[in-house]
Structure 1
Amino acid sequence: MFNRLGIILLCLLLLGACGETKTTGKLQKVGLLVPETVNDQVWGTKGYKGMLKIQSKFSVDVFYKEGMNSQAVVERAVKEFAQKGVNLIFGHGSEYAEYFNNISKDYPEIHFVSFNGDAKNPNTTSLNFKAHAMGFFGGMVAAHMSKTNKVGVLAAYEWQPEIEGFYQGALAENKQAHVSIEYVGNWDDEKKAIQLANQMLENGVDVVYPAGDGFNVPVIEQVKGQGSYVIGYVSDQSDLGESTVLTSTIQQVDTLYEKVAEQYNDGKLKSGNLSFDFQDNVISLGKFSPLVSKDFIGEMNKKIDKYKETGKLPK
């Protein structure tokens, strides 16, 4: 009887151990490549926070490398990650799609994830935020709060879908709104961004949407000093000044990284280009300024909920 009981207990222990092993599934170790730094308090920091969430949830080792801004340095980093046993690598930007397309065939045991690019190989995935609606709702808030009927988008590049979204949202809220659009031509050119922001303010724009994660913080500080308003970008930036930041258009990169790691762990991560929006709970508006009326905030929340249900933006 004792031997039988011992065998049963041993089997249960083994089953329990197998269950624990299965919770980590295919995920072994995770790597992150960022083009600049993880200390920018916006885009890079969100990627780093995503790694911490993965580490906490799956109890796996995570690694990151900064300044990964060319094919050569990326190849060296991937080789190092592979030697450490990393089997899921995030490239934190659109440029990594091309890098990963070029080298992923040499590492079939690794899955490569990039942003806003075109993933072409079976072990590559590109995550794309559907930013049009994000910009649309930001534009509605900007136009509602503008006292001059002049709002402005300060973008990095013309291809950003949030630009057209902001324009349409502003006009949907206020037919009399005039939307200025300027392009920095770079994610990180703070000097040019501040110069363009000053030009907007001089022309009567009183709400600016700095849609570039590398320059939006200094632009917010510049606008704050002149008593105008901004719509924050990528992160909830209300902590930079509740009387300046009316709300923020948030891309919850850290949450998306956790979702992707879970899909990979479960063997369900698809290759190719995947899109995410409000409905996936990885895009949202941030905290509203106390200057925005509660009635208007209530209306905005209803319109966002309706968009999440129907996929249709307000007219």
Structure 2
Amino acid sequence: MRSAFRQSVIVLTAGAAVAIIIVLSMQLLSSRVITEESNQSEASGPNISILTSDAIRDQSWGSFAFTSQVMIRDEFGIQAELHPELTTETLRDYRTAKEAEDGADMIIGHGREFAATFAEYAPQYPEVEFVSLHGETNHDNHTVYTFDVAPTEVLAMTAATIKSESGSVGVLSKYGDWRSRELVEERLQELDTELHYEVVEDRNDTEKAMEALERLRDAGADVIYSRGNTFNRYVIQQAAEDDFYVIGFIDDQSYLSREHVLTSIVNNVPLVYEKIMTDYLSEEGLTGGTVELSAEDGVFYLAPFGPMFSEADMDELKKHDSRVLRHLYDGSR
């Protein structure tokens, strides 16, 4: 009797286990089907990859690759893959080739360092559209989108001369990344202001950047235009401690120290991506060559000046550039 009861229990238990397994399997299969259908839906548009050498951090150049990825999804309904921290030529080569082999329709390089990589791979993958932010191109399927912030930098540095007590300002930048030096130097010479210039190899190398900052300060610079994305927050922190002024970069960085950030050169990078996507999806498509964007396109502008600028400073700035005065009063861009 007991033996028969045990057998019944075993049979019922085994049956229940089998039923549970069947239910779980059906749920898993259902989930898999939904996921596959979702993926197919997401992949129905063009296959786009964004490559950046930077990490995705707040207030960094790399962070704009992420915000641009989100913009592409929200504004165009297209899923783009983002591949960060491609810090070496080998990594950039590998990822570019892999994305092309995996069927990417368009590969966007988030910085001029990708232009040289795309120059090599564009002829090998003529069916792929390559786009780089800044750089040079010689291929029909490689388009460069660029913008020249030199006039805005000259404007900011003109304002810097008003707040410099030493008559000496400094620029801290990544090696090979600052293209406005000659124009800025010419302007500063007109204003009897000395320019000191220091570079670092990596915009993420905070230690080297702080060493370069110390050299600029030792040379007498009391206003620093820091073009370092990641290391800017440390430069501004040092400015707050040692009481000198900074011009921010990429984003309006006055929130880091309102009393020490004169202004910032702001890049609205998602607008560049919006232009890329609009051109790519247009009837004409991308045509290769270089697309030069301007301040009128809204892709860069000067952030509002800080509270350290007095009415007397405004009057002095008016003598140099009427556009500066308009900016001070109404924030016009």
TM-score by length of 1: 0.78
| Equivalence for 2:32 | none
Q: Which residue of 2 aligns with 1:310?
A: none
CA 1:46–1:301 in structure 2 vs 1: closer, same or farther (change >3 Å)? farther
Residue 226 of structure 2 is matched in structure 1 by 210
Please report how far the alpha carbon of residue 91 of structure 1 lies from its aligned counterpart in structure 2 after TM superposition.
0.8
Find the partner of 1:56 among 66, 70, 74: 74
| Corresponding pairs, count | 279
Task: From the CA coordinates, give the structure whose radius of gyration is larger.
Answer: 2
Contact 2:266 2:300 in 1 (8 A): yes
SS of the residue 1:217 aligns to? helix
Distance 1:176 1:102, change over 3 A: closer
- 1:46-125 alignment to 2 at 5 Å? 46-78=64-96, 80-82=98-100, 86-125=104-143
CA distance in structure 2 between the partners assigned to 1:117 and 1:57 by the alignment: 26
Could you tell me how far 1:171 is from its partner in structure 2?
4.1
- Share of identical aligned residues, percent? 27
Please list, as runs of the form range in 1=range in 2, the aligned pairs for 1:292-303 lying within 5 A after superposition: 292-293=309-310, 296=314, 299=318, 302-303=322-323
2:307 to 290, 294, 298: 290
**In the alignment, does 2:211 pair up with 1:195?**
yes
How far apart are the structure 1 equivalents of 2:193 and 2:321? 22
Cα distance change, pair 136–240 in 1 and its aligned pair in 2 (3 A) = same
State the alpha-carbon separation in 1 of the partners of residues 161 and 141 from structure 2: 43
Structure 1: 5+ residue stretches without partners: 1-25, 307-315
Could you tell me whether the CA contact under 8 Å between 2:54 and 2:61 is conserved in 1? no
CA gap 1:144/1:270 in 2 versus in 1, 3 angstroms? farther
Q: Shift of residue 269 of structure 1?
A: 2.9
Distance in structure 1 (CA, Å) of the matches to 2:177 and 2:83: 27
Q: Name the amino acid aligned to 1:276.
A: L
Q: Which amino acid aligns with 1:279?
A: E
Q: 1:131-183 deviations in whole A, cap 9, x for unaligned?
A: 321321121111122122221112222562233333334345xx232222222
C-alpha distance in structure 1 between counterparts of 2:68 and 2:321, whole Å: 26
Q: How does 1:136-151 map to 2 (within 5 A)?
A: 136-151=154-169
Contact 1:138 1:247 in 2 (8 A): yes
Confirm whether residue 263 of structure 1 aligns to residue 283 of structure 2: no
Greater alpha carbon shift after TM alignment, 87-96 vs 64-73: 64-73
Question: Unaligned regions of 5+ residues in structure 2, if any?
Answer: 1-43, 327-333
Aligned residue for 2:122, secondary structure, equals helix
Partner of 1:247: 263
Task: Name the SS of the counterpart of 1:215 in structure 2.
Answer: helix
CA 1:71 to 1:198, structure 2 compared with 1: closer, same or farther past 3 Å?
Answer: closer
The Cα RMSD (Å) is 2.8
The Cα shift of 1:114 comes to 1.1
Partner of 2:179: 161
In 2 relative to 1, CA 304–87 (structure 1 residues): closer, same or farther, beyond 3 Å?
farther
Deviation at 1:123, TM superposition (A): 0.8
Secondary structure of the residue aligned to 1:269 is coil
The equivalent position to 1:35 in structure 2, one of 53, 56, 77, is 53
CA contact (8 A) 2:229 2:250 kept: yes
